[in-house]
DNA sequence: AATGATAATGATAATCATTTTCAATTATAA
DNA sequence: TTATAATTGAAAATGATTATCATTATCATT
């Protein structure tokens, strides 16, 4: 579940926080490092458990507060699952969709810009003026499929 | 926000509850009547406020419990919005998608069976085996568009 | 219609994730 | 280095949901 940290993305996020008037603190660094480096969706407690290793003394409350700011700056986005609706992932540029592995929670963005006309049509047929659409795919990622195949042998 | 009750659907739900071994009570009747008759997504408190008119003395707790059973029987389904993830709507037959009016919360189902191959492709391109997809459209319904046009005059 | 086993109810208390409060600490500009 | 204002973490508060439990109501059986 550990990921190599993407230094560049992390620095981008810190710059974004700073240029919005927020201060850079150890606590925020730790949360940013976890979120910018993760390919997996994670909830506040999971983020806290990762981040507190990097910044001992970190409080769960600060994780919530930092997530609020990162969400406000559109650096992270909330992910909705059928049960848990309080997980987060690094946001994508512009309007993208998510595909989520139901085994390991890995998530990847993909753009479906070509879907917009189709979505408009689907709405128009029902008398709706479509303003937005929300699409998520669920499945098994490569790594999990291979792991399952190994076990099956 | 009030709707004429669809007697037939309501009876279907009551039959379904009964044939699953659940008893038919006044409290359940009231919740079923509200949910089976509503074209709008609604959360437990909204359901309670409607249902308590039909069954005075109804407790909010019973609304939660009844919703659990209706969800278990796939008669209602949970609706996820960006903020509120605890609203419900009468379920559709089979795999369908929702289009939701962002003004009045009216929701309609539509089938997008023809979308499945597209979804699979989108996933395969990223090394995922797609098992399921979620699609929701957001927009303005006919009624709200006309109401807005009236006001604009 | 009456009975009785037991499912269901509603009031209350408990739980748990999230928010708020607040005094102490820390980042940043001057 | 200093001033100041944002940030922090601990603790308390909040609010939605769930569990408990004595009472009530349903419904198959009589």
Tell me which chain A residue has its CA closest to the CA of residue B137. A133
What is the mean pLDDT for each group of 10 consecutive residues in chain B (153 residues)?
62 96 97 97 97 97 98 96 92 94 95 84 93 95 95 79
Q: Which helix (H) or strand (E) holds B140?
A: strand B129-140
Place of tokens 């910018």: A36
Residues in a beta bridge with B99: B108, B137
Q: What does strand D contact on the protein, if contact means CB under 7 A?
A: A 21-23, 25, 27-28, 55, 57-59, 61-62, 65-66; B 18, 23-26, 43-45, 60-61, 64, 68, 86
The phi and psi torsions of A85 (rounded to 5 degrees) equal: -115, 25
Residue A67 pLDDT > 50, yes or no?
yes
Residue A120 pLDDT > 50, yes or no?
yes
With cut-offs at 50, 70 and 90, classify the pLDDT of residue A72: very high
How much is the pLDDT for A97?
95
How much is the pLDDT for A152?
81
Q: Which of chain B's residues have a Cβ under 8 Å away from the Cβ of A127?
A: 141-142
Q: Which is nearest to A102 in space by CA: A73, A121, A122, A81? A: A81
Q: Which is nearest to A79 in space by CA: A45, A105, A50? A: A105
Residue A153 pLDDT > 90, yes or no?
no
- Check: CB of residue B27 under 8 Å from CB of residue B58: yes
Tokens of A70: 């990162």
Among the partner-chain residues B80, B128, B136, the one whose CB lies closest to the CB of A140 is B128
A8 touches B at CB < 8 Å: no
Tokens of A117: 């006309």
Helix axes B26-37, B60-72, angle to 10 degrees: 60
- All CATH 3.30.1490.190 domain ranges in chain A, comma separated: 94-152
With cut-offs at 50, 70 and 90, classify the pLDDT of residue A2: very low
B141 touches A at CB < 8 Å: yes
Q: Which is nearest to B142 in space by CA: B106, B115, B90, B118? A: B106
Q: Where are the alpha helices (DSSP H) in chain B?
A: 7-19, 26-37, 44-54, 60-72, 116-124, 142-152
- Say how far apart CA A98 and CA A135 lie, in whole Å: 7
Q: Which of chain B's residues have a Cβ under 8 Å away from the Cβ of A97?
A: 122
Q: Which of chain A's residues have a Cβ under 8 Å away from the Cβ of B145?
A: 129
Tokens of B60: 């909010």
Tell me which chain B residue has its CA closest to the CA of residue A125. B110
How much is the pLDDT for A7?
58
Tokens of A68: 């609020």
- All CATH 1.10.10.10 domain ranges in chain A, comma separated: 7-89
Q: Determine the average pLDDT of the residues in A12-35.
A: 97
Tokens of B84: 């509120």
CA-to-CA separations, B75 to A129, B59, B66, B109, in angstroms, rounded: 28, 21, 11, 14
- Say how far apart CA A108 and CA A145 lie, in whole Å: 16
Q: Which helix (H) or strand (E) holds A98?
A: strand A97-101
How much is the pLDDT for A114?
78
Residue A84 pLDDT > 90, yes or no?
no
- For residues A141 and B153, the model is more confident at A141
Task: Specify the DSSP class assigned to residue B75.
Answer: S
Mean pLDDT of chain A: 93
- Say how far apart CA A138 and CA A146 lie, in whole Å: 17
Among the partner-chain residues A78, A112, A127, the one whose CB lies closest to the CB of B122 is A112
Among the partner-chain residues A108, A131, A145, the one whose CB lies closest to the CB of B138 is A131
The phi and psi torsions of A110 (rounded to 5 degrees) equal: -150, 150
Q: Which of chain A's residues have a Cβ under 8 Å away from the Cβ of B141?
A: 127-128
Q: Which nucleotide is closest to the Cα of A85 by its C1'?
A: C17
CATH code 3.40.50.300 for A7-89: no
Q: Which is nearest to B55 in space by CA: B25, B35, B75, B76? A: B25
Burial of A88 (0-12, 13-18, 19+ CB in 10 A): buried
Residue A86 pLDDT > 90, yes or no?
yes
A131 touches B at CB < 8 Å: yes
Say what the alpha-carbon torsion angle B94, B95, B101, B104 is, to the nearest 10 degrees. 40
Q: Which nucleotide is closest to the Cα of A28 by its C1'?
A: D7
How much is the pLDDT for A1?
45
Place of tokens 């974004």: A16
Q: Which CATH number fits domain A94-152: 3.30.1490.190, 3.20.20.300, 3.90.550.10, 3.40.50.300?
A: 3.30.1490.190
How much is the pLDDT for B7?
58
Share of residues in chain A with pLDDT > 70 (%): 94
Burial of B50 (0-12, 13-18, 19+ CB in 10 A): buried
């Amino acid at each position: 579940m550990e990921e190599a940290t993407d230094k560049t993305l992390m620095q981008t996020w810190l710059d974004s926080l700073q240029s919005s008037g927020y201060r850079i603190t150890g606590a925020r660094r730790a949360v940013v490092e976890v979120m910018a480096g993760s390919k997996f969706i994670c909830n506040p407690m999971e983020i806290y458990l990762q981040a507190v290793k990097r910044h001992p003394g970190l409080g769960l409350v600060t994780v919530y507060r930092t997530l609020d700011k990162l969400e406000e700056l559109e650096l992270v986005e909330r992910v909705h699952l059928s049960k848990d609706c309080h997980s987060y992932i690094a946001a994508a540029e512009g309007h993208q969709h998510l595909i989520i592995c139901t085994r390991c929670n890995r998530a990847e963005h993909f753009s479906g810009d070509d879907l917009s006309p189709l979505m408009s049509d689907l709405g128009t047929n029902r008398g709706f003026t479509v303003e937005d659409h929300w699409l998520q795919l669920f499945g098994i990622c490569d790594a999990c499929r291979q792991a399952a195949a190994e076990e099956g042998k």
